[in-house]
Structure 1
Amino acid sequence: MAATCPVPPASSLLADSFTPRLHYILTGTFNTLFLYLLAFFPYSPNGPTLTVHRRVRGEGPHQFVALNEERDRAYVTTWAQPPSLSSWEVLEGGRGGVRKINTVPISATGSYLTVSPSSLPFPTRVYQAGGPVAQTFSLSPSSRGFDTQLQEVIYLDGGEKELWDEKTDRTRVALRYGSHAVDIDPVRARAYVPHVGRDSIFVYSFNEDGTLNHLAEVPTHGKQGHEGVRHSIPSRDGGRLYVVTEHTSYLDIYTTHSSAPYLSHTARYSVIPPSLNSIRHLYRGDTLRLSHDGRRLYVTTRGKTGAQRGWVSVFEVDEKGDVRVREEEEKEEGVRYEALSRFEARNSGGKAHAIEVFPFHCSSTGQGHDYLVFTDDEAGHVSILEWRDEWSELREVAVVQLGVDAPVEGERKGQVLEEERGTGASHAVWLS
């Protein structure tokens, strides 16, 4: 979806490259049947606002949402049983809600989904990794919902026999020690699957039909069996891979190579401030995303209990894709603690402090400005965080609480249903 950039009112405090209209957001939850459509208005007279636009009854607790390039189709995981994935049509950029296309069964509860970009030389595929498996799906040419499972990769030594053994965990519990995501680098035409339990990153190329071709399993940096590598994203040019560790809350940077060993560790940075190093084990690294201009890296962590608040750390990225550090900064046991800025969350975040960066900027403007949608499972908050270079920090500029704030449109508007009270927000994406 292309962004349009009319000139906003000169009096607006936020008048810049952002399109001055409502932006719609789709979010899942960890503990209800609902998907939520949220409406973000950055130019409200009293400052930015975020509201519950409408709720949609879905498939069960929805952990993760992925969009296609056009942002008119959403692909969603669920923690409901039996394990499945669902596809949804996005109506009017989110204003009209979402409509389910279909549901497909999978062998184990899913985690993160990824949709292949059009720059890769095969039809659009959807990839999912969760626990003991990863899958590749084709899409229906007519509906662009799920079609055929083309491949299943099994991360168990006993293969398919072990997968279907009654002792094998195929529930959401397996996500804590299994595969967690399929992250695509379109420049090098590779896919990376971080595996929490094996403490390794599986490296793949693509076959002609878009299925995964195994190249290597690269051990993660640090103490094997202790780090819990969880999520990764590539740099813009594919020269670096950024990785967050769940058990130790580090940002690790790897240099990518065209041949074996494919990845080599370059640097390690702490997501939490140095004052918390002694209780590092009480944090859980979560997600990471690049800013729209590629000059900043946002990395999140959660608290293990309600006593520890989560964090979003901001790192400056240089032209090579490395984190820019001050010359006087010293390392402590090979770890750098300096971040450009750190934002302390309202609470621990529970099972999620997921982020997605606002993507609808004009191509030639908008430098040094981001909106992030930020989710919280503990209390059900969905927040909008804003970064401006002149602030040199993240600020929360709008917030809504699921299960408390009623929808303003749609069926049963103005009402909070009993079954949505205590809702924990999981992962949100920008529709428009």
Structure 2
Amino acid sequence: MDFIVGTFYTPRLFTLRFTPDKDIRKCKLEIKHTSDAIGGHSWLSLSSDKKTLYTTVWASPPAVASYKVNTDHTLTPLNSKPVRAMSGYVCNSSTTIYSAGGPTGEIYAIDQSDGSIGPLLQQLEFRDQGAENDGQRSGVAHGDFGGLRHGSHSIDISPNGKNIYIADIGKNCIWSYTISSDQGKLENQQQWLASRKNDGPRHCWPHPDGKILYSVQEHSCYVDILSISDSGTLDLISGVRIIPEDTDEKNYWADEVRLSRPVSGAPRFLYASTRGLEKETKGYVAVFALDEEGLVKGEAIEIYGTATSGGIANAVEPAPIVEGQEDVEYLALTDSEEGYVFVLSFDGSKITEVARTQLVDEDDKTLAAATAVWL
């Protein structure tokens, strides 16, 4: 099982191979390839056929980039295109690439001949749009990141390909749009103000049936479960805290929310990860059970303490289900602090680390692992 990991600051992309085993002591994780990259890539998005990779580019000037995924899972650069502010996140349909970062966002067409990034279709503005529900804007422990912690931070497409959701830390809200039939441009902007003034929506993730959206709140360390109406309006159903009750959210910043990959039927579990603001404060991965409609059932099954704070990563990404091991789910977990990439297993009740490797350069300097996508 191969997956790709980018780094925040180094122009390299890593292809890792995870070898699962029913005896978790025999699981293996190794770096199979290192590919030259255009810049540091904080976020990765695969085309549906997994032949093309789209990325953010943390460089000066900032950009988005595309790569061909070769048959041996090495990567060949195709091209890059500029963005006005550092992008925090990219996603793609079969025809269009969407990017959001801080005060602005971009929409590019995909060149159908080779999967590279085509012409600019639309530019998005967030700074002067909508109402504000002020979150915590002071005391940013790890810097501004080009405005990402004070503006839009993620962008995701609904399962039916008709809507876009953008989490905006600065506006303390989620933007929703309709994807028009005009080359994938966005229209009908709506705003959902977060339920707590210190929430800071960071990332969203839709349920496969398209009726539920999950939002991880960077500052309050909650995941909110939102209903999606036929018109695209979002409404709060419930919220769950993703760090232990005896901890102070001011010492953490939540990172990621994802759903398990079911063998059949609806996802059974929700995963959410949190980083420690300081090196000595370890992060967490929380797991919640879901019902068939995507609603959370009760308290967390497990809140697993990670090996490091996670740095500015601690991003969790569920793997495809392994044939013959349907009772176990594997997850990639990235750490920017010490350059580790972990694979965790979850057996329905407990998370266990089953393998790890470390990203280093030729001088044995650790590299800041960012996010992972499974091939």
2:170 matched to which residue of 1?
197
How far has the Cα of 1:31 moved from its partner? Answer: 2.6
Partner of residue 286 from structure 1, selected from 248, 251, 255: 255
Shift of 1:60: 2.0
2:147 aligned counterpart, secondary structure: helix
The answer (yes or no) to whether the contact 2:221–2:243 under 8 Å persists in 1 is: yes
**Separation in structure 2 between the aligned mates of residue 187 and residue 138 of structure 1, nearest angstrom:** 19
Counterpart check, 1:65 vs 2:34: no
Post-superposition offset of 1:85: 1.1
Shift of 1:361: 5.3
CA distance in 2: counterparts of 1:231 and 1:108, whole angstroms: 18
Could you say what secondary structure the match of 2:26 adopts?
coil
Richer in strand (by share): 2
Match of 1:344 among 301, 305, 308: 305
Q: Which residue of structure 2 aligns with residue 384 of structure 1?
A: 343
> Contact conserved, 2:103 with 2:127, CA < 8 A, in 1?
yes
- Counting only pairs closer than 5 Å after superposition, residues 136-175 of structure 1 correspond to structure 2 as 136-157=107-128, 172-175=145-148
**Aligned residue identity for 2:62:** P
State the AA in 1 paired with 2:350: E
Task: Indicate how the Cα distance of structure 1 residues 71 and 274 shifts in structure 2: closer, same or farther if over 3 A, else same.
Answer: same
Name the amino acid aligned to 2:368.
Answer: G
Partner of 1:102: 79
SS at match of 1:349: coil
Look up the equivalent residue of 2:192 and give its one-letter code: V
> 1:30 — aligned with what?
8
Q: Does 1:312 align with 2:271?
A: no
Structure-1 separation of matches of 2:300 and 2:145: 33
Q: Tell me the equivalent position of 1:301.
A: 274
Cα distance in structure 1, aligned partners of 2:191 and 2:246: 34
Contact 2:272 2:286 in 1 (8 A): yes
For CA contacts below 8 A with separation 6 or more, give which structure has more relative contact order.
1
Amino acid at match of 2:56: T
Match among 418, 425, 430 for residue 369 of structure 2: 425
Q: Report the secondary structure of 2:249's partner residue.
A: helix
Any stretches of 5+ residues in structure 2 without a counterpart?
130-143
Instruction: Give 1:137 deviation, angstroms.
Output: 1.2
Question: What is the CA distance between 1:272 and its match in structure 2?
Answer: 0.2
Are 1:53 and 2:32 matched, yes or no?
yes
Aligned pair in 2 of structure 1 residues 257, 93: CA closer, same or farther (>3 Å)?
Answer: farther
Q: 1:44 to 1:57 in 2, by over 3 A?
A: farther
Say if 2:70 is the partner of 1:113. Answer: no
Q: State whether residues 188 and 238 of structure 1, in contact with CA within 8 Å, keep that contact through their aligned partners in structure 2.
A: no
Q: What SS does the aligned partner of 2:303 have?
A: strand
Q: CA deviation at 1:425?
A: 0.4
**Computing the radius of gyration over CA atoms, which structure comes out larger, 1 or 2?**
1
Q: Which residue is 1:257 aligned to?
A: 229
User: Offset of 1:287 from its aligned partner?
Assistant: 0.7
1:234 maps to which residue? 206
Of the structure 1 ranges 298-307 and 84-93, higher mean CA displacement relative to structure 2 is found in: 84-93
In 2, Cα distance between equivalents of 1:69 and 1:218 = 29
What is the Cα-based RMSD across aligned positions, in Å?
A: 2.0
Q: Secondary structure in 1 aligned to 2:214?
A: strand
SS in 2 for 1:92: coil
AA of the residue aligned to 1:210 = G
Where does residue 213 of structure 1 map in the other structure?
187
What's the counterpart of residue 127 of structure 1? 98
Contact 1:24 1:93 in 2 (8 A): no
Q: Aligned match of 2:331 in 355, 372, 396?
A: 372
Kindly provide the CA deviation profile for residues 291-316 of structure 1, in whole angstroms up to 9, marking residues without a partner as x. 00101000001000012110000000
- Using the size of structure 1 for normalisation, the TM-score is 0.79
Give the distance between the partners of 1:188 and 1:99, measured in 2 at CA: 28
Q: Partners in 2 of 1:351 and 1:367 — Cα distance? A: 32
Mapped partners of 1:133, 1:215: distance in 2: 14
CA deviation profile, 1:182-236 (whole Å, cap 9, x unmatched): 111123721111100000111111110211113311101112xx21110011112
In the other structure, the counterpart of 1:86 is 65
**Partner of 2:246: helix, strand, or coil?**
helix
Letter aligned with residue 400 of structure 1: T
Evaluate the alpha carbon distance shift between residue 204 and residue 366 of structure 1 in structure 2; reply closer, same or farther with a 3 A threshold.
farther
Identity %: 32
- The Cα shift of 1:29 comes to 0.8
| CA positional deviation for 1:41 | 1.4
> For 1:238, what is the secondary structure of its paired residue?
coil
Equivalenced residues, count: 356
In structure 2, the residue matched to 1:222 is 196
The 2-side partners of 1:237 and 1:103 are apart by: 33
CA contact (8 A) 2:275 2:314 kept: yes
Q: How far off is 1:264 after superposition?
A: 0.9
Structure 1 spans left out of the alignment, 5+ residues: 1-22, 117-122, 159-170, 326-337, 404-415
TM-score by length of 2: 0.90
- 2:159 touches 2:209 (CA, 8 Å); kept in 1? no
Q: Distance in 2 between matches of 1:213 and 1:37?
A: 37
User: After the TM superposition, which segments of 4 or more aligned residues of structure 1 sit over 4 Å from their partners?
Assistant: none
